[in-house]
Amino acid sequence: MRYTRAALALVLVGGWFPMAHSDEGMWLLNDPPRQLLKERHQFDLTDPWLKNAMLASVRLNSGGSGGFVSPDGLFVTNHHVAADSLQKLSAAGRDLLRDGFYADARDKELKCPDQEINVLQDIADVTKEVNAAVKPEMTAAEAFAARRAVMGRIEKESLDKTGLRSDVVTLYNGGLYHLYRYKKYTDVRLVFAPEKQIASFGGDVDNFEYPRMNLDVTFFRAYENGQPAKTPHFLKWSQVGPQSGELVFVTGHPGTTQRLETLARLKHRRDELLPYTLYRLRTLEAALKQYGEQSPECARQAATDLHSVANARKAFSGQLQGLLDPNIMEQKQAAERDLLLGAARAAEPKGRSAFDDAMNALAKVEAVQAKLRGFEKAHALVETGHAFFSPLFGIARHCVRMGDELPKKSADRLREYRDSNLESLKYQLFSPAPLYPELERAKLTASLTFLAENLGGEHDLVKLALAGKNPAARAEELTAGTKLFAPAERKRLVEGGAQAVAESKDPLIQLARAIDAEARKLRARYENEVEEPERQAYAALAAVRFMTYGSTVAPDATFTLRLAFGTVQGYEVGGEKLNFHTTFGEAFEKSAKLGGAEPFDLPKRWLDGKDKLDLKTPFNFVSTADTIGGNSGSPVLNRAGELVGINFDRNRHGLVRNFVYTDVQARHIAVHSKAVLEALRKLYPAAPLVKELVRQ
Amino acid sequence: MRYTRAALALVLVGGWFPMAHSDEGMWLLNDPPRQLLKERHQFDLTDPWLKNAMLASVRLNSGGSGGFVSPDGLFVTNHHVAADSLQKLSAAGRDLLRDGFYADARDKELKCPDQEINVLQDIADVTKEVNAAVKPEMTAAEAFAARRAVMGRIEKESLDKTGLRSDVVTLYNGGLYHLYRYKKYTDVRLVFAPEKQIASFGGDVDNFEYPRMNLDVTFFRAYENGQPAKTPHFLKWSQVGPQSGELVFVTGHPGTTQRLETLARLKHRRDELLPYTLYRLRTLEAALKQYGEQSPECARQAATDLHSVANARKAFSGQLQGLLDPNIMEQKQAAERDLLLGAARAAEPKGRSAFDDAMNALAKVEAVQAKLRGFEKAHALVETGHAFFSPLFGIARHCVRMGDELPKKSADRLREYRDSNLESLKYQLFSPAPLYPELERAKLTASLTFLAENLGGEHDLVKLALAGKNPAARAEELTAGTKLFAPAERKRLVEGGAQAVAESKDPLIQLARAIDAEARKLRARYENEVEEPERQAYAALAAVRFMTYGSTVAPDATFTLRLAFGTVQGYEVGGEKLNFHTTFGEAFEKSAKLGGAEPFDLPKRWLDGKDKLDLKTPFNFVSTADTIGGNSGSPVLNRAGELVGINFDRNRHGLVRNFVYTDVQARHIAVHSKAVLEALRKLYPAAPLVKELVRQ
């Protein structure tokens, strides 16, 4: 039987085959690919190696990864991951995102207004406990509620017992449930950031492209009790960096992949979800660009939103090209057929029921897509909040919902309001980070317009949201009238509960209240008609997959810590061989060739300091390791567990990795550890930072 | 009864009322508003005044208006109207669009590769002849064909008789048919263009905004037989310009308005057509921006496409805000009710049948919208060509269709291939204007992706268009393989007819052939299920309107010559009074305030020459005259028929003028005639041009 499957695989192109036969896999830390690493790379993954990597890996809750690089809480991540904090630490006339920052003494390090980082401490399998709470006779709604309740209870108990942030994570779309416990730091201070020009040299043009020359790094320090955190588990900074052909590892927090999704779901993605998403992103991008073009200060205000939106637009565009590629869809179809074949050929009666289970599960997922079409946009617009593209709306909704939810038992609340999450939620909600009324107005105008464009002017939800005005006038009314810019007002409303909310005349609070019944209905439909049936179906598919392939397939990404491995190597495009690394010199050459025009302009510091630099210093490098969005800032480690790079991107060939792993041309891209040292030594007045990195 | 209607009008806000009670109206030159001008402005519109205005007004077939300003063929239009030609006259390293141009001698004037201008000579009413060809017993398809045939015949006879370009124009969406005869010039040469920085100072940010400081002018000269054309009818250039409160006229070619559309049609526009249009425009804008950001040369290549797309995006966004404004929809509803009331109250039996006719017509238009929803996107994508956003595709399609159509009788051909249009069509088709393969590839990638986003990956038309590739790979194949960049190849195919086309291995020709059957089917559906029924319904509504109001309502715009009039006056926004004109000084002030950042940077010539300028010179001014897109470049005249300005835009309050005229804040914006003279005299080495303008 193995032969048959292997033979089938041979007739198909690329890396679709669900048994890892390459460097594929974002592996669970509690189920690492020891065997594979031994077979493919003659590497013995030891427990101490793994433990150090885990405890030195950082998750930034603004969305990204990082790694401790000194015993005193210093960690590195990407500049584009740090952008959120850099922006929030900036103001008119003081643009840290654009100009960079360096604190040459601890007391000059700048506390971020709302950055939270998490460091994974351990993982426990709670699948049985979660599944035991869901009885076969339950309706989808009952099952959903029961599962939510048991997950909430497990988290609460863990939090009470350990004091650690405790999250139950759904793996394999419902195949497994693991409890993740994190040490949490909320006092995070900025140490060093370079200028944006060099951090993202080439800007949107070169995003998801290689060759690349980006110093996409920023250093923060975690604090505890007002002192630098003690982080005995950290990554030694390699002064050598990686060589071609070398085995490397990436530890980080890949956000989401869809490799185990069924063909029906992927078609839905291709024909419904991705077009809607791109329509939305291009709408927001146009609005943000227009806002930014009004003046340099407007451009500053819109910079991080614009980057996120443009980055997402490019990533989703690549995904859509992937799903519109008949080769890829054929691979997915073959994989599905193969799973069915595998199940059917298992010994009776296991095979028969596995085959039926898989068939039923596939049909169930397909049926869900048909239902979804009827309310997916309304759900995304009103419950997910695409109609209200402003943190102000999120704030208003939390105030409204906390009034209703907090009086309930933790297990019965909407999941984001469970006790174990409240501290982190409030930390974000009461953040003093600045918001700009005119920017929020522009974003609300665009997104309210987008709402009307999608649902039509006669739709009840549109009428409810617009309240007798056109989108532009309504956005003006909302931003001019709200007091939610002030954290104190948010606190007052949360502390005052449902009554304070009900009495509030704030137009944003009133909007969030007015649509809440409908939004909750849409959410319930989504939970009961989509999430729960899909979870059950995917759990069945996962069981068949385990039976057929064992655990040789890693679960889809879930923004939790994973270990990937890969080989450092260049690749070929259109006959041109691309080296595995670029150099400082190439940045200067490219900029000169393009007349130094934005986004290929270099910082003055770099132009002035060019002669001081060794232009042959490796700048960025690529490997075949399996990464995705969320891995930004991930440490890249060598066999010795030293940091040889900081992952910051993947190339355009890697954009299809949401659906299929391929290593023909697809690569992730990292900043070379030597580049950071050379730049810090020669261009920046950052001697103490260099000393901290290399003292070990 | 007049009283009743007037009383009704009083309870409603704004300018909805279909009888002109303001400066509303884009009037037909053969039915000018003499009475109104006398009553409202004590102006006697004489035949000689009108004749001179008509014969001095120019239509640029690239989309815009202009006016002769010397007896030697010199005419003025907007820089943004000229942009198409400026771009086509440019090349890598020679950017006339950005840097401007001046020919200080006739033999240095640059011939545009494909600019055609038309000058209206006379108008004849052919309504009876057209309507006589359509019998009541005909099906929609028969009626459509009969109408097309009779229009083609009238045009052909007129062309043969007069040698003039002859177009039958459908007015009031089918209420009237007029034959327009034009003198045509295809030898058009560039005389003067300023730098883009000052022509569109403020760029997209200030587009559709006021106050404005733009030198949005360009001068061309029409030639005949290699000599400057004799244009005895021209507009004298005013050295004074307009005063506040002064009556002015705008002669030009407004493109399209929708003021007489029914409420059902406007709702369709709001909920279907405009969202689709904005989705499309934002998609193209994102693609063009990304292309341009790659390098300064890429930016140059994409500049005109980007401007058109951004301009359209802003205009349509304003339209959507207008239709989402409940006040405006209420006005439209009231207008419809009023028309029915008017019909009902007419004397029996005329009133009864008019009322029924109007009710039936409204129902018919509503029914059309419901049908349209089923195939509108497919029609727009495949027949209108939104799926193939490249002139290359248009070229390929013409080659393919001319092979099929030209052997037929002129009257039976698709309308664009009628004999009377062939010369102009070939002039465009064989244009030597440069096309850039990489730009066309980027545009095709974006638009083919947009096709798939709209119809889904399984749709037959998508499969046909993509031919087993994803959009990016398909676009690469099409642009790499086509020979249609060469005008000679286009000529070869057109001359070789259907056989040459059938034998062609050109991938774009093969694409155009492959989808032609489906495209023609969609076109036929559109003609028979939308155009013809709507034309009949609107003809009925027009008849009721004539009966009720007489000809006090101008027809919707049709990109044909119209006369508008208005009052020069400032307005108030948010308590701030805006003067009726701006000054040169304000441009320098605004630029300085924004640190000279793009798009508020000024040309070096202006910065260096600032001291030479009288900074109090009026720069742009506004009036209440009724304009729309297509009016760009329109001469603004005073009572004496002198040119006092060149219209180039309207403010954002004017964006709803597609649907309703309002003069509370809505204004069109023009370059002041003095500004042009002052700039030419002080900053540009253009003495001969000044002399030609003011010698009279």
Give yes or no: residues B397 and B490 share one domain: yes
Q: What is the pLDDT of residues B558-610, one digit of tens each?
A: 999 999 999 999 999 989 999 999 999 999 999 999 999 999 999 999 999 99
Task: State which residues form the domain around B404.
Answer: 312-329+375-527
Domain boundary among A324, A343, A360: A324
Give yes or no: residues A606 and A677 share one domain: yes
B273 falls within a domain = no
Chain B residues close to A205, C-beta within 8 Å: 290, 293-294
A69 falls within a domain = yes
B124 falls within a domain = no
B457 to A282: CB separation less than 8 angstroms, yes or no? no
B144 falls within a domain = no
Interface with A, mutate which of B293, B373, B589, B594 (most A CBs under 10 A): B293
How many Å apart are CA B95 and CA B83, to the nearest integer?
A: 11
Chain A residues close to B471, C-beta within 8 Å: 321, 324
Predicted local distance difference test score (pLDDT) of residue A21 = 56
A163 falls within a domain = no
Restricting to A residues 415-474, those with a Cβ less than 8 Å away from any Cβ of B are: 449, 452-454, 456-458, 466, 468-473
B469 to A321: CB separation less than 8 angstroms, yes or no? no
Give yes or no: residues B323 and B413 share one domain: yes
Chain A residues close to B270, C-beta within 8 Å: 452, 456-457
B481 pLDDT higher than 90: yes
Predicted local distance difference test score (pLDDT) of residue A696 = 52
B644 falls within a domain = yes
Provide the domain count of chain A: 2
A286 to B290: CB separation less than 8 angstroms, yes or no? no
Mean pLDDT by 10 residues, chain A (696 residues): 33 36 90 94 97 98 96 98 97 96 97 97 97 95 95 95 96 94 98 98 96 98 98 98 97 96 97 97 96 97 97 96 96 94 83 89 97 97 98 98 96 93 96 97 98 97 97 98 98 98 98 98 97 94 87 90 97 95 98 96 98 98 97 98 98 94 94 98 96 86
> Count of CB atoms within 10 A of residue A10's CB?
8
Of A204, A271, A597, the CB nearest to B290: A204
Contact A440, A388 (CB under 8 A): no
For residue A524, give the 3-state DSSP assignment.
Answer: helix
How many Å apart are CA A123 and CA A129, to the nearest integer?
A: 15
Give yes or no: residues B517 and B592 share one domain: no
B336 falls within a domain = no
Q: Which residues contact A10 (CB under 8 A, 6 or more apart)?
A: none
Nearest chain A residue to B593 by CA distance is A295
Q: What is the pLDDT of residues B6-60, one digit of tens each?
A: 333 333 333 333 444 589 999 999 999 999 999 999 999 999 999 999 999 999 9
Give yes or no: residues B522 and B639 share one domain: no
Give yes or no: residues A583 and A613 share one domain: yes
Contact A171, A554 (CB under 8 A): no
Q: What is the pLDDT of residues B85-136, one digit of tens each?
A: 999 999 999 999 999 999 999 999 999 999 999 999 999 999 999 999 999 9
pLDDT band at B552 (very low <50, low <70, confident <90, very high): confident
Q: Tell me which residue of A469, A440, A471, A439 sits closest to A453, measured CA to CA.
A: A471
B417 pLDDT higher than 80: yes
Domain boundary among A298, A324, A350: A324
> Count of CB atoms within 10 A of residue A296's CB?
18
A320 to B449: CB separation less than 8 angstroms, yes or no? yes
**Percent of chain B with pLDDT strictly greater than 90:** 92
CATH of the domain at A593: 2.40.10.120
Give yes or no: residues A87 and A211 share one domain: yes
Give yes or no: residues B96 and B54 share one domain: yes
- A495 and chain B in contact, CB less than 8 A: no
Give the pair of three-digit tokens for residue A599.
């986004």
A324 to B271: CB separation less than 8 angstroms, yes or no? no
Give yes or no: residues B462 and B584 share one domain: no
Contact A606, A38 (CB under 8 A): no
For residue B290, give the 3-state DSSP assignment.
Answer: helix
Residue that has been written with the tokens 């030009």 in this structure? B252
B606 falls within a domain = yes
The β-bridge relationship of strands B57-60 and B562-567 is unpaired
Contact B278, A451 (CB under 8 A): no
Give yes or no: residues B573 and B617 share one domain: yes
Q: What is the pLDDT of residues B343-383, one digit of tens each?
A: 888 877 777 789 999 999 999 999 999 999 999 999 999 99
Give yes or no: residues B510 and B450 share one domain: yes
What are the φ and ψ backbone dihedral angles of A212, each rounded to 5 degrees?
Answer: -140, 150
Domain boundary among A270, A301, A324: A324
Give yes or no: residues B319 and B247 share one domain: no
How many Å apart are CA B164 and CA B159, to the nearest integer?
A: 5
Of A205, A295, A320, the CB nearest to B294: A205
Question: How far from A348 is each of A56, A362, A489, A539, A548, CA to CA, in Å?
Answer: 47, 21, 65, 21, 13
For residue B223, give the 3-state DSSP assignment.
Answer: strand
B387 pLDDT higher than 50: yes
